[in-house]
Every structure is written in structure tokens, then in C-alpha cells.
Amino acid sequence: MQRDLFATSEQQRPIFLGQQAAVLKGFALAQSEQLWQAIQQVVAVAPWRQLHTPGGRPMSVRTSNCGDWGWHSDRRGYRYVAQDPLTALPWPALPACFLQLAQDAARQLDFHNYQPDACLLNSYRCGTRMGLHQDRDEADLSAPIVSVSLGLPAEFLWGGLRRNDRSEKIMLEHGDVVVWGGVDRLRFHGVKKVVAGEHPLLGEQRINLTFRQAKS
């Protein structure tokens, strides 16, 4: 019993990646089944799709969104849209368990009053990756990013404020949450190719939930 308690508190101590950025190991683990249920409800309304970069190249990740705003990319550029271009419906509402988790995680790094209005869902199959980039399509860059990893593990690339800064690799596993904001809000980051595998809950994929304050 003593050991279980110890393991829990160890798991939830932030591993700092910067002054205002940290990995919260296993932070979403207890809710992962509930999150998975909610993900399936979201993608029943706003199905997974493969977006194209403004340059016309297909992205290897499949995406969906929920919340007031959804992140979209096509020939016209990267932007947030209130309607799903695939269905012409509004994006599904942010499930209550998503909002609670995102706010709880943000609070761990002293980001209070976090009100994410956008949640991008990314699905990575074997071989899918995401190149180094900054999240900078949001109106107010003072609000943090909360990023939840579920399913297969993946190596997260954590860079600096310039594209060519050295990046470190951090293994993200099912239930891990990364929060970055403040002075670390514009850090470059990416995901290395996901390796084939089978996760007991999510099967042959990794899903990432990225919460942002897009417009508020």
C-alpha cells in the first residue's frame, strides 16, 4: 500500500523541460478509458481526415477537432475554423472530461483560469510523424498548450525558440501530459515516427489531444 501511494506521487511530480514547460507522467492515466470513450464520440461526428499543408503536401497524421474552434490546414493556410469543412457542422463540444483534465494539468504549472476553446485530435499510425514546428496560430500566446498522449508510445522532440536549436527526445507514453506556456510557449516541438505496436485500449495507434486557447 505504502509503495502504491509513493508510486502515485512520484508519477505526478512534473519533469521540467523549461521554466514553464513540463511532462506530467501518467497524469491522464486514471481517466484514459473515459477519454477514449469521448474521443470515439467526437470522431463519430467529426471523422478523422488527412489535411494538406498550404504547400499541398498531405500530412501523415489524421486529425479531428472539438471545442468552439478547430484547427484546419489547406491551400489557404493554417487557421482556426468554427465549422468542420468536411461536414459543414459545428465541431463537437469539448467533452467535460477533456476540459477538466486540461485545466487540472495547466494548474500544475501555475496556469490558472485556463479556458481552452480548441482541442485538436491527432491520430498517429505506425510510421506517422510530425515535423518540428511552433504552435503559433492562436490569438493569445499567453495561454499554455496542454498536450495529452494516449495509446502507443512516441518520442517527442523538444527544441528551443529557434528552429535550429538542439532538441531533446522524450518518450511519451499512454497517459502522459505535456504543458508548455509563458516563456516556453513558442518552443519548437515535434514527434518522431511512431513504431508499430498494439495498445490494449487504443489498438495500433497513438492519439494526441492538443488543447489551446485559439481565440479567447
Cell 495529452 sits on residue: 148
Q: 19 near 11, Cβ under 8 Å?
A: no
- CA pair distance 11, 214, nearest whole angstrom: 30
| 122 binding ligand AKG? (CB under 6 A) | yes
Compute the least distance from the CB of residue 83 to ligand AKG, in Å.
Answer: 20
The secondary structure element, H or E, covering residue 35 is helix 32-45
Phi-psi region of 175 (alpha: psi -120 to 50; beta: other; left: phi over 0): left
According to the binding rule CB under 5 A, does residue 176 interact with Fe ion?
Answer: no
Residue 120 touches which of ligand AKG, Fe ion, none (Cβ within 5-8 Å per kind):
ligand AKG
Cα-based distances in Å from 11 to 30, 151, 181, 197, 200: 12, 18, 21, 24, 21
CB of 130 to ligand AKG, least distance (A): 6
* Closer CB to Fe ion, 135 or 184, in the complex: 135
Q: Shortest distance, CB of residue 33 to ligand AKG, whole angstroms?
A: 20
Residue 52 annotated in ligand binding? no
Pairing of strands 206-212, 177-180: unpaired
Q: Are 86 and 47 in contact (CB under 8 A)?
A: yes
Interacting positions 150-209 with ligand AKG (CB under 6 A) = 156, 189, 191, 208
SS3 content of the chain, % helix, strand, coil (to 5): 20, 35, 45
Rounded CA-CA distance 150/206 in Å is 6
80 annotated as a binding-site residue = yes
Indicate which single residue of 22, 130, 152, 194 sits in contact with ligand AKG (rule: CB under 6 A).
130
Question: Grid coordinates standing for 14?
Answer: 512534473
Q: Please report whether residue 120 would count as binding ligand AKG according to CB under 6 A.
A: yes
Would you say 7 or 86 has its CB closer to ligand AKG? 86
Any binding-site annotation on 71? yes
Binding site feature residues: 71, 78-80, 122-124, 133, 135, 137, 163, 189, 206-212
Please report, as ranges, the residues that interact with ligand AKG according to CB under 6 A: 120, 122, 130, 135, 147, 149, 156, 189, 191, 208, 210
Pick out the residues of the known binding site for substrate. Answer: 71, 78-80, 137, 163
